[in-house]
Structure 1
Amino acid sequence: MLRRRGVPVALASVRERWTAFAGSFVALCLGVAIVTAAGLAYVSAEPRVPDRLAGAPVLVRAPTPVQPDGVFAPDRAWPPEEAEALARRLAGVPGVAAAVADRSFYAQAVIGGRPVGLRADLQGHGWAAAALGPYRLASGTPPAGERDVVVDRELGLRAGEPVTLLTAAGPAAYRVSGTVDGPGFYVSDAAAARLAGGVRVIGLVTEPGADPAAVEAAARAAAGTRGTVLAGDARAAVEPKHDSRTRWIGTQVLAGMAALAAFVSVFIVASTFAFGVAQRRREFGLLRAIGATPRQVRVMMYGEALAVGTVAGAAGAALGIAAASPMGGLLVAAGFEPPGFEVRVAAWPPAAAFAVGLVVALLGTWAASRRAARVRPLEALREAAVDERPMPRSRWIFGIAFTAGGVVLSVLTVSAGAEAMFNYGIYTAMALIVGLTLLAPAVVPPLAHALTWPLGRARGATGMLVRENARVAARRTASTAAPVLATVGFAMLITSMVQTTAAAFAAGRGAAVSAAAVVAPDGTPGLSDAAVAAAGAVAGLPGTVYHGDTPLDALGLTPGALRVARDLRAVAGDLGRLRGDTVAVASRPAGELGLRPGDTLPVTFDDGRTVPLTVVAVTSGAPASLLLPRDTLRAHDPSALTAEAYVAGGATPPALPPELGARVLSVAAYAASADAEEDRLVWTFTLVLVGMSAGYTAVAIGNTLLMATSGRRRDFAVLSLSGATVRQVLAAVAGESALVVTLGTLLGALAALPALLGLRAGLAELAGAPVELVLPWPLLAGIVAACLLLALAASVLPARLAVRRR
């Protein structure tokens, strides 16, 4: 009979006990919804053609090597002479009205005495580049003089009015010659050539009626190997690097959300079906007794999983499509996607998410179906309510293996390098969480016995009931404690790891600076030369240079800045010889490139010029791969900004005019705020993952307790017949729920602490100073309290209904 009616039996089983499958349904529905929304956001997160270049049908880009994933170095520029010659050749291409070399530089308006309109991309341009927008004059005339500028009409300035522009050199007075209907500050092309670095893009403005495809082909022939011709959507390759980095961060967030959703869905489905098998042993025994084979029992359970997965997958896909657009807005608001990002609906992400939901349902059911198939005929009919064998041998083996692996990894975390330390910490906690979850049915009874020891000595039967139920129903107690264990362990690990690391790095930054105060940007992306000079500070000028196809971070230093860097020292050569066309190379790149003092290192600067530099020292503790004289780097990169400047010890920093966009901070305040934006993004990502984990925990706890409570109606009836009042029954149920949450919290902390202690020891070894372990107690307490409230609601309310019905 079961062979012929396997599918109808599975469907009937789902209909009959739908409350038992509610948790799996909700988990799969949410998982598919998250995967759908994340997939739609992922496929929509493609590079966009910058608005200010969108008016040029064809762009020619300087040859730039392919960069590794996660690296966002500026593109290599043409040398000035080559850029001009190439622009002249491209201007002669049939159908091209103008070939415009895009020269961009840092510029920011000072309104009301303070810089306004902070943006990551360069806002200063030569007037010719306005045609690439295309932006047209809304009023006034194009800039003609050295101090003329055309501004965005949204600033509210009129032609003829004065305006102060802050550039890399400092604030300067300009005259508004006109306004345009787009963002940016447009100076004369001659002024832009002095203010900007190299030319990386040449835009082709075509004549009316010109064939873009023909122009593209002719431009490709004219550029040869010295330029990459881009047309149509391919022009998105020149999007600003900060937008590329933001999109890359967003993809990491989306991938993490989708992976966590799939993993936790498997976890919940597996725990739900496993607990369901424990409750349905009598049913499976009866099926076996009337002739059902183990294979037929497995097929029935797979049918139940497919039924739940199909309905949940369809609902989740629809929910994900509806949630995708709001998710896109949240990603932009949180800084995980660039402005202008919009989610587009495509067919394959919901279809793929639906398929993932079915696979997750089947994977989660696999172990439970095997256990159900092992039930022998009539075995369950004779079985008592006590869990005589709550754990199979395979669970013992895997549980011990994962736990032992976690202990070993915690030891390795201490001696791991800076890059591997965090991975080891995460692997440690993951292994211990999995190991303790697998061993929970064996660990929970003795731990519960110890925790409830005072209840055994208390007067009344309520404490005794709580204690004995936790002991004899190990499977039920472990199934409820497991999601709390996973959530508390994961939350404690990831939040403490982020905050401990941030605090350690801040302390390291402060210890590495020997200065009385630090000058930091205030409403600007960096410090101008005028701000550094006004503060009487020393500073390094950051930049990026190329050695062949390899980008290297560089720092331009003065002799005074060399003295401020506390950990910097020469392991070979002499840093005192750093002047002119010389360079000091950090130990790691020096070893990779085989460089020693006296060797020559050719580098290509921001302006596209390649200069052979003489290596004068190999350094240890350097803040960049290459150290150069500040004047040398400034000569090749007139738009570079200083990240921070240092006021020498004993000096009193002067009050800085607000128009400089700089503020004076103590060393401690600077150390805490230097990576504020990076820390904010990491913390936001952390809260997203913790929030998702807590949400899934809510589903798991609620479903497990609902299933367990509905299956205990006979227990409640026996207690009532024995004289227990409704209040006493509910008190016992509430006590059991509070106990399992406590057990899960303790085991979760036990899983996370070895990883965190190993991380703290490793950070202390790297920093050479003690590192304090930072635990976000309010957040962790909130998670535990939420678990407790949910557990009480999911157990006490159904128990009250069950007792009243009696």
Structure 2
Amino acid sequence: MNAREGGTKARRSRGGGTKARRSRGGGTKARRSRGSGGMLGLAVATVRARPVSFAGSFAALCLGVAILTMSALILLAGDAGVPGRYAGAPVLVRSAQGSGPDGVFLERAPWSARQTRELTRALSAVPGVRRAVPDRSFYAQAVVDGEPVGRQRKGDRLGHGWSSAALAPYRLTAGRAPQQPGEVALGRGLGARPGERITLLTAAGPARFTVSGTVDGPGYYLTDERAAALSGGVRVIGLLTEEGADPGEVAAAARSAVRGAGQVLDGAARGELAPARDAKTRWIGSQVLTAMAVLSGFATVFVVASTFAFGVTGGRRELGLLRTIGATGRQLRRLLYGQALAVGAAGAGAGALLGAALAPALGAVLTDAGFLPPGVTVHRPPWVLAAAFAAGLAVALTAVWSASRRAARTGPLEALREAASDDRPMTRARALTGIAFTALGCAAAAATAFADPTDMTGLALVTAVGLITGVTLLVPAVVPPLVRAVTRPLARRSGALGMLVREGTLAAVRRTASTTAPVLATVGFVVLITGNTQTSVHSYADRDTASVRARAAVVARDGTPGLSDAAARSVPGTGPLATTVYAGAARTPWEAAGVEPARFAEVHPRLRTVSGSLARLDGPGTMAVTRSALASLRGRTAVEVTFEDGRTEKLRIVAVLADGTAPAPYTALLPRDTVRSHDPTALTDVVYRTGPAPSPAALRRLGAEEVGVAAYAGRADAEEDRLVEVFTLLLVGMSAGCTGLAVANTLLMATADRLRDLRLLRLSGATTRQVLGTVAAETTFVVALGSVLGALTALPSLLGIRAGLSGSLGVPVRLVVPLAPVTVAVAGCLVLALAASVLPARAALAKGTRLG
């Protein structure tokens, strides 16, 4: 029994030992916990002790998150609100007949006269409705002293029936409402008084009216009968409610009354009646903001990744010392992630606040530039700032991933290394990744040559990102042979200075690659963005010039949206009468033109038919369409078409035009008389003169002027070209700004990292001027190398764009790369690089202090 008891006690004692071991295990966990917290504290202390090394990452994150925050806030900004001329109608009903696909911004199909009468009658009977008012609009512009006044854009229709004034509501300030067909009430801002005679320019031509009164708002108001004759179909019916009526209840009853024939809008939803061009402007602005956000995100990751990668390279001895005292690879990764977290939290927080503060100012700039419609209101919901902050942290942690893996591979013996040479600047993983990205960029460049013009911009961006990333990763493999090839003759001629530049560059390949990369990205982006936009702009102008055979072009003067029939008839030549038609049961909007087939074909020699003949476009019921439009109709030879007056007819397709040969942007051609009979407010875009020149004074009275064909080709897209130019400047400034930070920060870190070498040169007998000359020469060489590689990186994308445009437009396309912005980019990189390398080196040599 005693023996068994003793054995039991012994086993219990061993159990106690097990508990002790478990307790020690708990102590191990505690030490691990303290170790994790210690690494985070060490990371924060490292950032505080070496602010120079992390200044570029902080600035890049701050700028990137600020751009992301501004872009998100503006994209989520409120609309301009209810258009002024509908603000007095609590409930509005608009046509629900068809809408364009994404990227097409045209008005919906109007109601016909019969539909308008039936809907007006039904809506007038809705409880709470005092009056249902069809809004009839048409082109009208006053002529004063022989010239049209006011600035109207294409699509502006300031002429209305008198009843439409109540929808604003606009009230008389003098005189009375128009009662006779020859009377008009107009805005008092024109200075006309009741009883005076005034000329109005309409789609038919100039007409004389008597001013019956003035109103407290813009526009020209004729009798409803005269307005109906000058306008097409009706798209909006406004409901004026009785006093005390609930707009929500009226809207609900109106939905039952229209039975799907219209869309009922009340409250803030009435803002959807803003002009279609405002929606297009907003869409363009969203593309700009999205591109800014994408490029800033890429540039931010690029800057932070390069900064941390260079920091790991320059801090190998410090990391080796940590390994010597027992730090594991996992702990070194935690150290890097802790540094990224500290820098990311500070940079992302500052960027979110900066973006929130600057978003209204950027919104105003984009509005003035034409990328946003007037009246857009920027709000600052907290969740957007929180999301931008989180995105900044994610970018910082993602960018440091590669550097942390390299830090984990640092061995203890790295602390004993004194030389700064790179024995393995290019790892297998880096080489394979660089080859993959380069292949992706080359594939995208090749695809650009066969892509649709609408897809070329996206493919160009993929090409740029792929090639810049790939070549940046492969730079360590490219630098040694390039340096040897370029510096060998320089070293012979420059003596000791050339030898120092050559050997210093070759001894620290990774440092050279890290300082070359941001210059490569800066110049590459500038060459790509400016070359892409300028090549595209010039290619379309060249196509339009080559596709016309005429002596000159007669166009509307600045401030006049188009040519009236009177102006078009005064010119010996022909031109398209622009309109919109709505095809098929879905009433898909097409931009169309009324033409005189024989004369039109004579002026446009590149016009080519795939089937049928344009000569058969000779009467009502006929139409010619492009090949892509026919494909959307699934090969039908006849289609129902709704016109601008709301009437629907079945038209025979008598000719199919080859894509790219018909004048842009027209999808369909109709006889000119057919368009005029269905669209009383249509205007002619341009008349190509083939006979004697008319009197300039006569053209001026009609709101027209004559220009050269080439000048018109450039002027036709002048507004879009202006937007493209502003867009280019925004992208260039943003991308160059982000990568410029990388140039300055990387050179500053590189200079701080090599101060010991520079002091050794001084101790070896070199003067301060010679040392600084060496630094300046190396910096200049790095900037030159990065600039050449950046330009070469952008070249495949530009060649792909040129080939694609040449194939789609059918004309030779010039490759246009503007020298001014590229020169500014290279000079800016050089100035930043010299300032970030020479000045710190000079200060350190003078004071004997160590940076970083």
**TM-score in terms of structure 1 length:** 0.97
Partner in structure 1 of residue 71 of structure 2: 38
How far does residue 706 in structure 1 lie from its aligned partner after superposition?
Answer: 1.1
Q: Is the 8 A contact 1:706 1:794 kept in 2?
A: yes
Give the letter aligned to residue 634 of structure 1: R
- Inter-partner Cα distance in structure 2 for 1:557 and 1:574: 14
8 Å CA contact 1:108, 1:118 repeated in 2: no
Are 2:595 and 1:569 equivalent residues in the alignment? Answer: no
Q: Aligned match of 1:661 in 703, 716, 723? A: 703
Q: Could you tell me how far apart the structure 1 residues matched to 2:625 and 2:494 are?
A: 76
Contact 2:80–2:376 (8 Å) recurs in 1: no
Question: Is the contact made by 2:81 and 2:375 (CA closer than 8 Å) also made in structure 1?
Answer: no
Partner of 2:651: 613
Equivalence for 1:512: 547
CA distance, structure 2, for counterparts of residue 472 and residue 152 of structure 1:
78
1:391 is matched with which residue? 426
Structural mapping, 1:420-459, within 5 Å = 420-459=455-494
Following TM superposition, by how much is the alpha carbon of 1:691 offset from its aligned partner in structure 2, in angstroms?
A: 0.6
Q: What code does the residue aligned with 1:55 have?
A: G
Partner residue in 2 for 1:586: 626
1: CA distance, partners of 2:198 / 2:532: 47
Q: Can you give the 5+ residue segments of structure 2 that lack an aligned partner in the other structure? A: 1-33
Amino acid at match of 2:623: V
Post-superposition offset of 1:260: 1.4
Deviations 1:246-277 (A, max 9, x none): 11111111111112111111111100000001
Aligned to 1:646: 688
CA distance in 2, matches of 1:500, 1:232: 46
Select between 753-762 and 687-696 the one with higher mean Cα deviation.
753-762
Moved more, 530-539 or 686-695: 530-539
Q: Which residue of 1 aligns with 2:11?
A: none
**Which structure 1 segments of 5+ residues have no match?**
none
Question: Whole-Å Cα distance in 2 between the matches of residues 783 and 427 of structure 1?
Answer: 22
Read off the aligned partner of 2:562 and give its amino acid letter. Answer: G
* Match in the other structure for 1:107: 140
1:538 to 555, 563, 574: 574
Residue in 1 that maps onto 2:81: 48
How far does residue 79 in structure 1 lie from its aligned partner after superposition?
1.0
Structure 2 residue aligned with 1:140: 175
Aligned residue for 2:640, secondary structure, equals strand
1:551 to 585, 589, 592: 589
- Equivalent residues of 1:587, 1:619 under 8 A apart: yes
Counterparts of 2:265 and 2:37, CA distance in 1: 63
The within-5 A match list for 1:317-716 is: 317-382=352-417, 384-523=419-558, 524-547=560-583, 548-549=585-586, 550-559=588-597, 560-578=599-617, 579-595=619-635, 599-620=637-658, 621-623=661-663, 624-648=666-690, 651-655=692-696, 656-716=698-758
Of stretches 46-55 and 482-491 in structure 1, the one that deviates more from structure 2 is 46-55
Partner-residue secondary structure (3-state), 2:780? helix
For residues 424 and 800 of structure 1, do their structure 2 counterparts lie closer, same or farther at Cα, with a shift above 3 Å needed? same
Q: Deviations over 1:480-507 (max 9, x none)?
A: 1111111211111121121112112111
Per-residue deviation, residues 620-671 of structure 1 (Å, max 9, x unmatched): 33333221111111111111111111111x5434424313221111111112
Would you say 1:64 and 2:97 are equivalent positions?
yes
Between the two proteins, the alignment pairs up a number of residues equal to: 803
1:434-455 alpha-carbon deviations (Å, 9 max, x no partner): 1111111111222122222332
Q: What residue identity is the alignment partner of 1:713?
A: L
Partner of 2:820: 778
Contact 2:89/2:238 (8 A) holds in 1: yes
Q: Which amino acid aligns with 1:558?
A: E
Determine helix, strand or coil for the equivalent of 1:250: helix
2:433 is paired with a residue of what secondary structure? helix
Could you say what secondary structure the match of 2:260 adopts? helix
Q: Secondary structure at the match of 1:452?
A: helix
How far, CA to CA, are the matches of 1:270 and 1:463 in structure 2? 31
Q: 1:42 to 1:189 in 2, by over 3 A?
A: same
**Matched residue, 2:165:** 130
Amino acid at match of 1:780: V
- Please state how far the C-alpha of 1:577 moved relative to its aligned partner: 2.4
Aligned partner of 2:350 among 309, 315, 336: 315
Match of 1:95 among 125, 128, 138: 128
Q: 1:280, 1:572 → 2: CA distance?
A: 72
Identity over aligned residues, as a percent?
55
Contact 1:2 / 1:292 at 8 angstroms: preserved in 2? no
- Point out the more displaced range, 358-367 or 66-75: 66-75
Moved more, 570-579 or 385-394: 570-579
The 4+ residue runs of structure 1 with deviation greater than 6 A are none
Distance 1:114 1:482 in 2: 58
What does residue 118 of structure 1 align with?
151
Q: Structure 1, residues 652-703: CA drift from partner, whole Å, max 9, x if none?
A: 3442431322111111111222211111111211110011011112210111
* Secondary structure of the corresponding residue to residue 214 of structure 2: strand
Contact 1:499 1:774 in 2 (8 A): yes
Q: How many angstroms does 1:515 deviate by?
A: 1.2
* 1:612 to 1:788, Cα distance in 2 relative to 1, 3 A: same
Distance in structure 2 (CA, Å) of the matches to 1:108 and 1:502: 32
Distance in 2 (alpha carbons) for counterparts of 1:254 and 1:404 = 28
How far the C-alpha of 1:53 sits from its partner, in A, is 0.6
Q: 3-state SS of the aligned residue for 1:225?
A: coil
Contact 1:107 1:166 (C-alpha < 8 Å) held by counterparts: yes
| Partner SS, residue 70 of structure 1 | coil
Distance 1:335 1:208 in 2: 40
Task: Name the CA distance, whole Å, in 2 between partners of 1:688 and 1:132.
Answer: 40
**Alpha-carbon deviation of 1:379?**
2.7
SS at match of 2:814: coil
Q: Say whether 1:9 aligns with 2:30.
A: no
Aligned to 1:750: 792
CA deviation vs aligned residue, 1:45-92 (integer Å, no higher than 9, x gap):
536321111111101111233532211121111111110121122112
Cα distance in 1 for partners of 2:173, 2:375 equals 24
Question: Matches of 1:417 and 1:657 in 2, distance apart?
Answer: 39
Corresponding position of 1:764: 806
- 1:266 matched to 2:301: yes
8 Å contact from structure 1 (residues 517, 653) kept in 2: no
- Structure 2 residue aligned with 1:18: 51
TM-score w.r.t. the length of structure 2 is: 0.91
Amino acid at match of 1:551: P
Q: Within 5 Å, which residues of 2 pair with 1:218-297?
A: 218-297=253-332
Q: 1:701 to 1:619 in 2, by over 3 A?
A: closer
The question of whether the paired residues in 2 share the 8 Å contact of 1:163 and 1:173 is answered with: yes
Instruction: Note if contact 2:776-2:834 (Cα within 8 Å) is conserved in structure 1.
Output: yes
Moved more, 655-664 or 79-88: 655-664
Q: Residue 203 of structure 2 is aligned with which of 147, 153, 168?
A: 168
Cα 1:204–1:336 change in 2 (3 A) is: same
Shift, 1:141, TM fit: 1.2
Q: Is the 8 A contact 1:64 1:76 kept in 2?
A: yes
Indicate the RMSD between aligned Cα atoms, in angstroms.
1.8
Larger Rg: 2
Q: Residue 536 of structure 1 aligns to which amino acid in structure 2? A: P
1:184 pairs with 204, 210, 219, which one? Answer: 219
Classify 1:339/1:13 alpha carbon distance in 2 versus 1 (closer, same or farther; 3 Å).
same
